[in-house]
Amino acid sequence: MKIGNIKIKGIASLAPMAGITDRAFREICAMFGAAYFTSEMVSAKGLIYKSNKTYSLINHSKQEKPFAVQLFGNCPEDFYKSIKLLENYMDKIDLIDINMGCPAKKIIKEHSGSALMKEPKLCGEIIKTAKSISPVPVTVKIRSGWDKNHKNAVEVAQICELSGADAITVHGRTKEQGYAGKSDLEIIKKVKENVKIPVIGNGDITNFETANKLMIYTNCDMIAVGRGAMGNPWIFKEINEGHKVMPTLNEKIRVMKMHIHKLCIYKGEEIGIKESRKHIAQYIKNIHRASEFRKKAFLAKSKERLMELCDELKNIKN
Ligand SMILES: Cc1cc2nc3c(=O)[nH]c(=O)nc-3n(C[C@H](O)[C@H](O)[C@H](O)COP(=O)(O)O)c2cc1C
């Protein structure tokens, strides 16, 4: 499949998750066949104000290909300026994605993320402006709508398409749902029926069965996996191969150690150790007697100690 002129090599991409899908995690998912990668959401204003922290979010490596930078903001001008500022990085960036789905309070307060879906005309203006300056394809990520009485994903998707969007990701939950309740397959299906650009279905994919169900029911072109990849990057292999993939305990520990190592390299040992906790909890979710390990791992103060504990975990008898 292609998004604009960019060839996508598989069917399952890694959905962006702020605080989770950083370079370390994206590289891990690349090892198991994720089709493409998106940065954590990046503030358009943060780029304009030259925030180092914001710029650090677009760092990525060669394995993460194709790579999309996801921008959030609330006015066309900010998107224009921020994409222009990315000019120097454009040889490494394959796509620009516009966030119209984030439900976080502080994002909504500044009329960004899913608040944009309340103003479909503005959504169109943002895409048109982004397209006018972006040398790479522009995609957009939306939700089903604001709440159950305002599910306007089809309208927003059509406006974005008319304004030049090259693909659209639809998460089948409303802003009101946040991350609870069920993702609505019906709305993804309706968007797919009403636009010609590629549609990427998203929400609640946890294995190859749920991936197949979403693809078959909605007829979408691709899927994006978010939380289902946490502690389970093997999900991409599973979806690509169409059968259950069950990593052994040793394999889980190998990948978890690699993940911790990458976090410590990219963020420094102190932050790396802290940030690895949320991933460790996911990797060991179904491991017998894991709580003992978790308690010790969360107290570890050095990478060396953490690695030692991971090796000890190999001796746990299931
Ligand atoms: C912790 C967290 C952070 C997220 N951050 C982003 C983000 O930065 N940009 C975005 O478009 N979506 C973000 N999302 C939404 C996911 O991309 C995805 O749409 C949602 O989790 C539903 O997919 P899933 O059921 O596969 O997780 C985030 C979700 C979570 C749980």
Given 209, 225, 241, which residue is the final one in a domain? 241
From 193, 209, 241, the end of a domain falls on: 241
Number of domains, the chain: 2
Q: Range of 94's domain?
A: 2-241
Distance (angstroms) between ligand 1 centre and the Cα of 271 equals: 22
Q: Which amino acids are annotated catalytic?
A: 102
Each residue's pLDDT, cut to its tens digit, for the chain (318 residues) gives 999 999 999 999 999 999 999 999 999 999 999 999 999 999 999 999 999 999 999 999 999 999 999 999 999 999 999 999 998 898 899 999 999 999 999 999 999 999 999 999 999 999 999 999 999 999 999 999 999 999 999 999 999 999 999 999 999 999 999 999 999 999 999 999 999 999 999 999 999 999 999 999 999 999 999 999 999 999 999 999 999 999 999 999 999 999 999 999 999 999 999 999 999 999 999 888 788 899 999 999 999 999 999 999 988 665
* Token representation of residue 56: 């650090």
**Can you tell me the distance from the alpha carbon of 171 to that of 117, in angstroms, rounded to the nearest whole number?**
13
Residues with a CB atom less than 6 Å from ligand 1: 15-20, 40-41, 70, 99, 101-102, 141, 171, 179, 202-205, 225-228
The reply to whether 284 and 153 lie within a common domain is no
Q: Residue whose CA is closest, atom 19 of ligand 1?
A: 171
In this structure, the answer to whether residues 237 and 253 fall within a common structural domain is: no
* Spatial separation of the C-alpha atoms in residues 184 and 182, rounded to whole Å: 6
H helices of the chain, in order, are 23-31, 44-48, 52-56, 76-85, 105-109, 120-133, 153-162, 185-194, 208-218, 235-241, 249-267, 269-283, 290-299, 303-313
